[in-house]
Structure 1
Amino acid sequence: MKDTILLVDDEEGIRKVLSISLADSGYDVLTASNGEEALGIFRTRRPPLVLTDIKMPGMDGVELLRKIKQESPDTEVIMITGHGDMGLAIRSLQFDAADFVTKPINDEALEIALRRARERIWMRDKLREYTENLERLVTEKTRQLVESERLAAIGQTVAVLAHAIKNITGGLKGGMFVLEKGIERDDKQYLSQGWEMIKGNVDKIANLALDMLNYAKERIPDYRLWDPNRPVREVCELMRPRAEKCGVELEMDIDPDLPEIEFDLEGVHCCLTNLVTNAIDACVDVECSKQVKKVVVKSLQQDDGAVIYRVEDSGCGMDEATREKIFRMFVSSKGTKGTGLGLMITRKIVEEHGGTITCESQKGRGATFTIKLPPRGKSAAVSRARQCA
């Protein structure tokens, strides 16, 4: 098809002479006597080259050029013009004609124009081929990279899980040993200690499994109209016995005038529970017994309608290295006490709302976690943008 050319001219003599010349040059020549006929042939055969006179009765060459380019921008069109038609020739170039030759047609000038048109077709085909090859290469390399990262993530997850399970298994074996000694000696104190060790490690297994299920579970926030202070009150009431047992003051600092907003009550409740639990544990880890151990849960609303939840503690705090990785999988500042999934689950829920979570902390100076939930409309837009990215 690249050697096929459509010749359009209303003068039969010119068509015959040019047809012979083009055929001798190796072209398969299609001919048309006017623009309408040429357009019909073009739509049927789709030749890559068109050589057309500019001035023709009915549809002239410029109009034919315009219609061909609308349907097939890659087709190269060379215009034939008289000496007095230079204005039309220049206009044809504005419609992306490949070139023009003047009457009487010089064979060398025509061959140069055709060669340039063929070169443009060749360059375009090569560019398309290179682009397609590059796209295939990028797609394949991206697939390989994603697969490598997936396998690396699986390997890291398996390694950390194996380590966590090994620690729990060690705790279970220790509890079993103490329990067996208690049975051998008929010692109730040993029996009680061993049993408590076993129960504690069984709880760790249950928490680990539950955290993994919560993180893996795909869920869409169940948006309903709620009082934004409700999850704060419920979480503080739920966690107060634990705080008192640990010697930690648990306080609320809420704005009672907050208007109702749409959010997922269960999700926000889970987030605040995780943060308050971590805050209490951080206070327990404080070495100085004289320091006041306090956790404060705050709620407020910004001018843009966003609701802010803030959990502040006077606990052990974190250094910069720990703070930068606390939202990563299986990274915990609690050592063997935590699964490392709580903050990941919290961030996942917050981002499902289109919100953000940040942490400010210094070693020995406590920590402040801040959740920002945008208004419902902005939240949905942010969530969609993140999914597209």
Structure 2
Amino acid sequence: MKEKVLLVDDEEGIRTVLSVAIADAGYTVVTAENGTEALSILSREPIQLIVTDIKMPGMDGLELLQKIKKLNHEAEVIMITGHGDMHSAIESLRLGAGDFITKPLHEAALEISLERALEKIQIREQLREYTENLEHLVLEKSKELVEAERMAAVGQTVASMSHAIKNVAGGLEGGMFVLEKGLELENQEYLRQGWEMVRRDVERIKNLAMDLLDYAKPVTITPKECDPNSPAKQVRDLLLSKAQNNNVELVLDMAHTLPTMRLDPKAIHECLTNLVSNAIDACQDLLEGDKRVTIRTMDGGGLSVKYIVSDTGHGIAPEILTKVFNSFFTTKGSRGTGIGLMATKKLVKEMNGSIMANSGLGRGATFTITIPTAHVVT
């Protein structure tokens, strides 16, 4: 279906010529000879693209522009102005016009202006769809969490989730603003930056949805006889390439005297994967110095096994350290979802264990998981 354009001009000859030019550009044209008729048309059908002359008897183009914006603030209005009337053209931009073209009109200039206006409308619609889908998805996951009673403080969870949504939506709005500026100024660098911002936040939406889905899955702890060092070895092997790609040394320091124990190696593996991945991220931003992550295992006095993940990153401030296990809290900015540590704490709790964080600015961070167990007599 062709996009409709409302053309407003008090001169019949100009309406005829411009109608042909706009139709040749692939649009359906609706005409009005004055502002009153234009507003009457817009009240009956929501036309998004409007081209109007500024100088008209009665209601001029500037007054019409203000009334259009009150009816639909997202309408794209292109103003037609005389060559010497730049003051009115600039005033129209201040009042919300998307563009202006000067007389005598050139068909190519009009077509380019319409294309840019249509691109703005399409970008807004796409971003609105992304945001609506995100809100719908997060609401669905919220209901699942509440119905399964997976969170003790539902009010706190909803508030935290709303904050996460707000952050992503804010990022999308920022990307939209940069994209619109790129279209308005025909600046390829702005367009590239804006699209990168949108792409990044769409990826964050996907990660948030997947993390929520994983978090909502029922947890079943299945202990079995195993080597307590085995999950640590597997995580080291799994994340070694990520560490190397970020110039981070990944060290494995195992207590070789640990006996066979009854543990859930899969759950421990998942916990260590989250912690080690976070530790690598904490080191990758260091510009210089020792970039190292250490995975350590220790015997907890015959009653438990300890898994310790430490890094040499920037560290975590004391006021932030108390919040790292909160729902949807993240120190990674746009890169994080705030679910990794929350899910880790949940798994550790299901294993009747505990997790502690210790850090300070400039001295890295250390996370210690303690899992109660029983030595298996062999």
Alignment TM-score, normalising by the size of structure 2: 0.52
Matched, 1:347 2:345: yes
Deviation for aligned residue 1:365: 0.6
Residues 378-389 of structure 1 mapped to structure 2, 5 A cutoff: none
Whose RCO is larger (CA < 8 A, sep 6+)?
2
Q: Which of 333, 336, 340 is residue 335 of structure 1 equivalent to?
A: 333
Deviation for aligned residue 1:199: 3.7
1:243-270 per-residue CA deviation (whole Å, 9 max, x = no partner) reads: 2232221111123443332222221111
Write the letter of the residue equivalent to 2:331. Answer: S
CA distance in 2: counterparts of 1:377 and 1:335, whole angstroms: 42
Aligned to 2:162: 162
Aligned to 1:302: 300
Aligned to 1:320: 318
CA distance in 1: counterparts of 2:180 and 2:190, whole angstroms: 8
Deviation for aligned residue 1:314: 0.8
SS state of the match for residue 215, structure 2? helix
CA distance in 1: counterparts of 2:353 and 2:288, whole angstroms: 37
1:60-116 per-residue CA deviation (whole Å, 9 max, x = no partner) reads: xxxxxxxxxxxxxxxxxxxxxxxxxxxxxxxxxxxxxxxxxxxxxxxxxxxxxxxxx
Aligned to 1:258: 258
Q: CA separation of 1:187/1:220 partners in 2, compared to 1, >3 Å: closer, same or farther?
A: same
Check the 8 A contact 2:151/2:157 in 1, yes or no: no
1:267-323 per-residue CA deviation (whole Å, 9 max, x = no partner) reads: 11111111112212222344xx22211111111223314211110111111222222
Q: Which of 352, 357, 360 is residue 359 of structure 1 equivalent to?
A: 357
Matched, 1:228 2:228: yes
Residues 1-389 of structure 1 mapped to structure 2, 5 A cutoff: 153-175=153-175, 196-286=196-286, 289-376=287-374
Check the 8 A contact 2:297/2:307 in 1, yes or no: yes
CA distance in 1: counterparts of 2:192 and 2:234, whole angstroms: 34
Deviation for aligned residue 1:181: 7.9
SS state of the match for residue 221, structure 1? coil
CA distance in 1: counterparts of 2:173 and 2:280, whole angstroms: 29
Q: Which runs of 5+ in 2 are unaligned?
A: 1-149
Write the letter of the residue equivalent to 1:246. Answer: N
Q: CA separation of 1:274/1:186 partners in 2, compared to 1, >3 Å: closer, same or farther?
A: same
Deviation for aligned residue 1:183: 8.7
Deviation for aligned residue 1:359: 1.4
CA distance in 2: counterparts of 1:358 and 1:151, whole angstroms: 20
Aligned to 1:98: none
Q: CA separation of 1:183/1:353 partners in 2, compared to 1, >3 Å: closer, same or farther?
A: same
Q: CA separation of 1:298/1:377 partners in 2, compared to 1, >3 Å: closer, same or farther?
A: closer
CA distance in 2: counterparts of 1:208 and 1:193, whole angstroms: 22
Q: CA separation of 1:194/1:241 partners in 2, compared to 1, >3 Å: closer, same or farther?
A: farther
Deviation for aligned residue 1:369: 0.7
Q: CA separation of 1:186/1:319 partners in 2, compared to 1, >3 Å: closer, same or farther?
A: closer
SS state of the match for residue 352, structure 2? coil
Write the letter of the residue equivalent to 1:339. Answer: T
Q: CA separation of 1:212/1:195 partners in 2, compared to 1, >3 Å: closer, same or farther?
A: same
Write the letter of the residue equivalent to 1:282. Answer: A
C-alpha root-mean-square deviation of aligned residues, in Å? 3.2
Identity %: 47
CA distance in 2: counterparts of 1:188 and 1:242, whole angstroms: 33
CA distance in 2: counterparts of 1:181 and 1:226, whole angstroms: 59
Deviation for aligned residue 1:186: 9.6
Larger radius of gyration: 1
Aligned to 1:113: none
Check the 8 A contact 2:305/2:372 in 1, yes or no: yes
Deviation for aligned residue 1:208: 1.8
Write the letter of the residue equivalent to 2:203. Answer: D
**Equivalent pairs, count:** 227
SS state of the match for residue 253, structure 2? strand
CA distance in 2: counterparts of 1:269 and 1:152, whole angstroms: 25
